[in-house]
Structure 1
Amino acid sequence: MRILLISPARTECAFLGKALRESAHSVQSTDDLRDGLYLGSLEPFDAVLAVAIDENASRSLDGLLPAFAKLPGSPAVIVIMSDVTARERAKALRAGADACFVTPYSIMELQERMRALRRGTTAATRDPAGRQTIRLESATRELVEGKRRICIGKREFLLVECLLRQANLPVPRDELIRYAWPEKESVDPASVNLIVARLRKKLEAHGFAAQLDTVNRYGYQLRAW
């Protein structure tokens, strides 16, 4: 999943970002709500995760939640708060949040809630007859085509997820880098080439029909049928 994480620079919040990345999510981070709203307007995210664990952040969030709910791609908006009443949680939900967690919370439950909210946008492709051809399973980090399955690494997972969003269409190299390496400002293009080469070997070795094509001077394309 592509997640926009808006949280203060605190140890417990850094742990949340680390846990999400280790679960093969593409995480874009910022510590300011208005900056987060701006980032969310530039490209679509599957979920916006806003951590408002102090009074000032909670007040700011109240006024911005309706705008987050209207971001491109209709991301799931999830709020994490601290020391709030049931009335305050209900207020956040009415303002545009899809879910509200209170500290302490379970990261496992948080991730399952995000997946449930975005179940209709699972990374997968369908052929002209509407049959599913290839998909990703986040729980096991596998690429699945019919009865064939491949276990893939975190970067490979993110790269395929980005390609599946525009299956059978070319995806720019820069977009793939932003998706698979969101925590880095600069990435050597050779890193993308290396992962694509590994994926091609795995697809061929396991008899997948899907193919990864290079689009000269542009990027890559996943041909699923």
Structure 2
Amino acid sequence: MRILVVEDDDRVARGLVTALRNASYDVSRVATAAAALDASPADLVLLDLGLPDGDGIDVLRKLRERRETAVIAVTARAEERERVRGLRTGADDYVVKPFGIAELLARIDAVLRRTRAARSAAGAEQPPMRVGELSIDVAARTAHLGSAELVLTRKEFDVLVLLATHAPAVVTREKILDQVWEASWESSSRTLDTHIAALRGKLGEGVRIGTVRGVGYQLLDQPA
């Protein structure tokens, strides 16, 4: 697996590159936004959001256009609004500096496992999933509401697929966190709320995500 480290601090970058190579990853490093976008494709990008030549969020947005590239934001921006902004833009995970290498490696492993699973599913022939006006092509990782394609982040798509798979049954918060984030800690719970809110905004009146308080969510083909 190839990892691209985008970090302008030489000391931090050296530590990351050494740790990742010791974990048997193929690693390269760049220090600017321009170099990150010009770099060869990687399986995963560790992206510092505070880059000297541009906003890391803009880089993240452009990287998200490459469907097969996973992105973990690695940044000193610890405020909740910044975490929400990064996740809504499409980061697969968000790690705040300073962090432990063991935790970072665990998060990388979890993101890459989900990426491999998604690629495996993409290779399988299966008809589109349908819930009312919503149509989801799991293999192509696209979703349409009527004739309009929805612009979804990787995590939004994964949550939507899970809800559609069980529609109209309720999917518990624990199950969503376990299958989409492989986690259950409190920060991930708030992340789930953020993604549900974003999905509701994008789905509009076509289909509805219902809340069963204290239990979870369900995908319904009729608005309330």
Q: TM-score range by the shorter chain?
A: 0.3 to 0.5
Name the TM-score, length of structure 2 as normaliser.
0.47
Of structures 1 and 2, the one scoring higher in RCO (CA 8 A, sep 6+) is 1
